[in-house]
Amino acid sequence: MLRRILSENSHDYRGSYVVAIVCSLIVSGTTAFTAWIMAPMVNQIFYERRGDAIVWICAGFMAAFVLRGFAGYGQAVTLAKIGNNLVARYQKRIFDHLMKLGVGFFNDTRSGRLAAQVNENVGGIRDLLSLTLTSIARDAVTLIGLVGVMVYQDPVLSLSSLLIGPPLIWAVVYLTRRVRRITRDSVLINSRLTGAVQEATQGIAIVKAFTMEDQLARHIGAMADTAEQRNNKIARVSERLSPISDMLAGLAVTAVIAYSGYRALVLGQPPGAVFSFITALILAYDPARRLARMQVGMERALVNARMIYELLDLEPQQGDAPGASVAKFTTGEVRFDNVSFRYVEEAPVLKNLSFTAAAGKMTAIVGASGAGKTTLVALLQRFYDVEAGTITIDGQDIAKVTKQSLRGSIAYVSQSPYLFEGSIRDNIRYGRPSATDAEIEDAARLAAADEFIRAQPQGYDTPVGENGATLSGGQRQRVSIARAIVRKAPILLLDEATSALDNEAEARVQEALTHVMAGRTTIVIAHRLSTVVNADHIVVLEDGRLVEEGTHASLMADPHSVYSRFHRIQGVKGLGLVDDSAPIQTSDIETQTIARSTI
């Protein structure tokens, strides 16, 4: 994993790494120099009482500390810049990759948890490289320099003090294995907690409406307790290295002081070399401890990095076909030819579906809930690929053209409009980034949105809030319709686009849509049949199959047709005899028709 990260990033940061390494070497060198200069300081100033040595020894100390200060600053700033750039680079890379994944991935992955997991994991790349550089270029070099001073001053004492190495290495290996097992669980638990908080705040209206505050508080509180316990366990395991290393270091320093004291008092040796050795030994403790802890820290960073690459290594399940061409649609005729489709491990949703949406005409798709209407629109936009059959536009198989060019030829208005962070103008412009302000305002007028937009505090520049929270449902829908209008695409998909509007606004938007649909191939998913009475062609679906098609007049001419029965049921709804909020099931059609007749 480390080799992969270095191969992907080292080239771009080569200059910065050189600067950081040079600074680290200066820090290491000055630290070793500080230990070495203790011998002449003690011998020449305090033992031999040479006044002339004070100047150069003090100058040496001062120079060492100044150099180390500036080098440490340069190293820290350089590593921070590299780390911050790495985080930004991987955030952009992950988002670009997520945008290439299919809709199915996002249907199976909770968005809040995904965002939280990415934010928590992306720091692992930065920490991994930072730990590697600081450990090798600073701590390892510093430790080598200090050990060199120790060997130079007293080889025998150096050998004895290094005996603490094997038990310290054993402790590091043991703790690393323990940390590796529990860190991944901790990351997942923390991401679930953050995701749950995000989802609760996004759905606060539902939380308040259903008095879910206490229930969610208990749920999130339980996850917070679990996260706390897991993080405490990581702290207990990883911090066990401190008492182990402290005890071993204390044993080594005690033995060295005792033996060197014996030599100074009994054998009468000058104390300078001993002081230099002890200083080097004490100074070597910090880089040795950091190197020991580095392996434990790297395991935590590696877990995060692996989870990032697990996401980046996901192959898009629905890419462009080899040699896919750029779609060039002229009239926009849409043809479904024996199309069958099922979601993973589910029953077929569409079964041998065939029909044609004529170019420049309005085709309405009618059916009960679960009949396959929304799936049909998703397949047309290639959110999924068909299991069998073909979908063509102007005779071109949409599976053989690029998805970007296909979707660039389609304007889509969903039943549940979604607005993004930014102003109203920004959200309309998402339909076509090159649209001018005049075109945006024309589209808003056609969508009956201009009046309410100008009444906003900042007009078209008014921020919409999270998912359009500052606008009503009908206002959000009209903004999304304006976004589709400004796209100027030859094919228009409307998923009950006026469902959130009141009667007056619906009439205005329907009139606007009549002008917008002129000359465009329009496919409308209809739940309210009153919106498709004037459709050029009506396709009726039942259980994923086409059961009948025609115009409103021809379908109503047969009193036993599915369409006419739907029409009668919605007439009962209009009188308040059927619950409008309940989805119509085809199995209930006869029962509700009999109820209407009886009444």
The number of C-alpha atoms within 13 Å of 347 and in the hemisphere containing its C-beta is 5
β-bridge mates for residue 342, sequence order: 348
Nearest to 490 by CA among 431, 426, 410, 566: 410
To 5 degrees, how large is the angle CA 308–CA 118–CA 184?
Answer: 65
- Going along the chain from its start, the domains and CATH numbers come out as 2-312 (1.20.1560.10), 334-551 (3.40.50.300)
169: which 2 tokens? Answer: 């290495």
- The whole-number pLDDT of residue 160 equals 66
State the residue for tokens 């909020």.
Answer: 581
**pTM for the structure as a whole:** 0.69
392: which 2 tokens? Answer: 């063509």
Nearest to 111 by CA among 189, 190, 195: 195
State the residue for tokens 């790494």.
Answer: 17
**Residues 508, 314: Cα–Cα separation, whole Å:** 46
Answer for the pair 492, 516: CB distance below 8 angstroms, yes or no: yes
- The whole-number pLDDT of residue 162 equals 67
| Ranges of the chain whose pLDDT falls below 50 | 572-599
81-98 residue pLDDT tens: 888 888 888 888 888 888
Which residues 6+ apart lie within 8 Å of 130 measured at CB? Answer: 79, 82, 83
- The whole-number pLDDT of residue 264 equals 67
Nearest to 477 by CA among 441, 454, 510: 510
Answer for the pair 1, 309: CB distance below 8 angstroms, yes or no: yes
> Which DSSP letter does residue 139 get?
I
Distance linking the first and last C-alpha atoms of the chain: 73
- The whole-number pLDDT of residue 461 equals 93
**Kind and range of the H or E run holding 335:** strand 334-342
β-bridge mates for residue 337, sequence order: 390
**Residues 331, 333: Cα–Cα separation, whole Å:** 6
Nearest to 343 by CA among 311, 317, 381, 375: 375
Residue by residue, DSSP assigns 70-113 as HHHHHHHHHHHHHHHHHHHHHHHHHHHHHHHS-HHHHHHS-HHH
The CA distances from residue 423 to 428, 450, 461, 477, 483, in Å, are 9, 14, 5, 15, 13
Residue by residue, DSSP assigns 397-442 as EGGGB-HHHHHHTEEEE-SS----SSBHHHHHHTT-TT--HHHHHH
**Residues 582, 577: Cα–Cα separation, whole Å:** 12
Answer for the pair 315, 105: CB distance below 8 angstroms, yes or no: no
Answer for the pair 443, 479: CB distance below 8 angstroms, yes or no: no
Q: Which residue stretches of 101-212 are H helix?
A: 103-108, 111-121, 123-133, 141-153, 155-161, 165-202, 204-209
> Which DSSP letter does residue 48 get?
S
